[in-house]
Amino acid sequence: MIPERLIHYFLTPAMRNQLHPEYDQVRTIVSGGIVATALLLILPIPLFFFPPPLIGYYVLAFLGICTLLSLKFFGIYWPPLILVLLTSYFVIITDTLETGGINSPAVTTLYLVLLTGFWFNRKIGLVMIGLNIIAITVIYYAIPEASGQSLYAAVSHTVLTIFFGAFFWFVQEQHDAARLQIREQQHIRIDLLNRAVKDRTQQLSTMRQNLASDFHDETGNMLSAITRQAAMLKLKLKDNPAVIPVVDTIIANSDQLYASSRDFLWSVNNNSDDPEELFAYLTSFGQVFYNQFDIAFSVNSSVNSGNESAQLEPFASRHIIFIFKEAMTNVAKHAGATEVVLEMSVYQKHISIALQDDGTWKEPDNGSRHNGLHNMQKRSKDNGFKLNVYGSPQGTRLQLEAPVHFTIIE
């Protein structure tokens, strides 16, 4: 049995997919080519000391190797395969004429070629029935002193060629029908699996949205109540300066927790996997945030307009939001920028989101710990993002690449 790894070695990456329409045929050609090449290198050895010269069989082995390499590197197999076929007839006819003509045992090699043709393809097999009959006719008439016995041999080989051709056709037709039935069953199972996955995804989407809605109602109401109660407590304790900072801290923590919970709940929502929704969310945050600092904020995005929609990995948007909120905050605190641009581009396998400012780039101080940049890098590494920070006297550009997959828009 030929190892599957060896067969796949001679297939192009596209043809290694079992659902490829030519997979079965090409796989048969490769496996047959490997076996035939090996036999052509081994079988002539016992006949080495007998005429005729066996160089033709080694030429066929060389052409078989060329066919396999042509398929591997160029995905082309029909031209070299036809060359192997024609060369095979030339070698067989030459060998037969040098060893006795139509009565030579070498004529039986034509049946092996016929079997190989049907093994590859039924259409090739039909063509080779005709080629075998032509080869038998050439061999018979190539020797002028043909006897009645020679005529009987020629007729017998012709009849046997037709018989074996019909037999091989029937067997191959049954094999193709069984293979087609298996392929149809595979497609049915794949369709059923796709429907099951779609239904399950819809259930999870609904569950995520319900969870986000319920959690928002409970947590939002509770945090709002804490903030209101802390504000009332601050009014009642205004004559006690020592307590006021504690109350202010409670209010600040409550507001911060509420803002963080909004980010988390939004990322739980199913639409958060859509890069366009994520970009809209970051845009909204940037507009509100930079209005506080009199910093010009603009956006620029390029997305797919076809029938496929890019989707981020589940919950990736949550980490991207935290990274860019940290980056936007750093620009306002440290860069002294007057203009900030948020950009997004969607590519075949990833999206790219960048934050560009015109502030002054400051080299990090190696003696101090930079938790913001450290946290952004850690989040990127943990989630398979690619994060780069480019600094110059003209400003800073933070660019993040996150993997995506595409789904068909129905």
The stretch 270-274 carries a mean pLDDT of 71
Q: What average pLDDT does the chain have?
A: 81
Report which listed range, 19-33, 219-233, 250-264, 266-280, is most confident.
Answer: 19-33
Query: Percent of the chain having pLDDT more than 70?
Result: 83
The stretch 200-223 carries a mean pLDDT of 65
pLDDT at 213: 63
pLDDT at 219: 66
Q: How confident is the model at residue 362 (pLDDT cuts 50, 70, 90)?
A: low
pLDDT at 255: 67
157 vs 307 pLDDT, higher one: 157
Report the candidate in 311, 219, 230 with the shortest Cα–Cα distance to residue 262. 219
The stretch 114-120 carries a mean pLDDT of 82
pLDDT at 289: 86
Assess whether pLDDT exceeds 60 at residue 121.
yes
Report pLDDT digits (tens) over 317-334: 888 988 998 899 888 888
pLDDT at 386: 93
Q: How confident is the model at residue 189 (pLDDT cuts 50, 70, 90)?
A: confident
pLDDT at 242: 75
Query: Percent of the chain having pLDDT more than 90?
Result: 12
Report pLDDT digits (tens) over 170-181: 888 887 788 788
Q: pTM score > 0.85 for this model?
A: no
pLDDT at 398: 92
pLDDT at 221: 65
The stretch 95-124 carries a mean pLDDT of 85
Residue 353 bridge partners (DSSP):
344, 400
Cis peptide bond upstream of 52, omega within 30: yes
Assess whether pLDDT exceeds 90 at residue 161.
yes
pLDDT at 244: 78
pLDDT at 408: 59
Report pLDDT digits (tens) over 42-54: 877 877 777 666 7
Q: How confident is the model at residue 314 (pLDDT cuts 50, 70, 90)?
A: confident
pLDDT at 266: 60
The stretch 138-152 carries a mean pLDDT of 79
Q: How confident is the model at residue 353 (pLDDT cuts 50, 70, 90)?
A: very high
The stretch 384-389 carries a mean pLDDT of 92
Assess whether pLDDT exceeds 60 at residue 118.
yes
